[in-house]
Amino acid sequence: MDYISLNYHIKDEDGLIIASINAFSCWQMAYISEFCVALKFRNQGIGSLLSIKLRKKQKLGATVSHTDTFDWRAKDFYLKYGYEAFGTIENCPPGHKRFFLKKHF
C-alpha cells in the first residue's frame, strides 16, 4: 500500500496562503480532504489551477477520486470538472445537505 500525501498552496505577494488543496492517495483511490480559495480570490482560475495540478498527480496511481462538500460550498465546481454525486445526507448540518462526489480516471 502506497500512501501519498498531496498538498498544494498558492500564496499572494505578501506570502500569505490564498488557496490550498490537500489530498491523499491510497489503494488507487484519491481523497480530497480540504480545498479552499479565499473569498476575494475566487472566480479567478486559482481553484482550477490547483485542481489541474492535483489531477496530474492523482492519475499517477489512482483510478478514482472522491470528496465531499456541502450545498453552500463547491458542489458545482466539482461537477464542472467531471465529478458526479453518488450520495447525499439530508439535514446535515440542519437545513443543509452534504454531498459525496466521485470521478473515475
Distance of alpha carbon 49 from alpha carbon 29, whole angstroms? 21
Per-residue pLDDT tens for 60-72? 678 898 999 999 8
Q: pLDDT category, 37, cuts 50, 70, 90?
A: very high
Domain count, the chain: 1
Question: In this structure, what are the phi and psi dihedrals at residue 91, rounded to the nearest 5 degrees?
Answer: 55, 45
Q: Domain containing 76: what range?
A: 4-104
Question: CB of 31 within 8 A of CB of 65?
Answer: yes
Average pLDDT, whole number, for the chain?
89
CA distances from 63 to 15, 38, 81 (A): 34, 30, 16
Residue 76 has pLDDT above 80, yes or no: yes
CATH for 98: 3.40.630.30
One-letter identity of residue 92:
C
One-letter identity of residue 9:
H
pTM of the model: 0.83
Helix (H), strand (E) at residue 34: strand 29-37
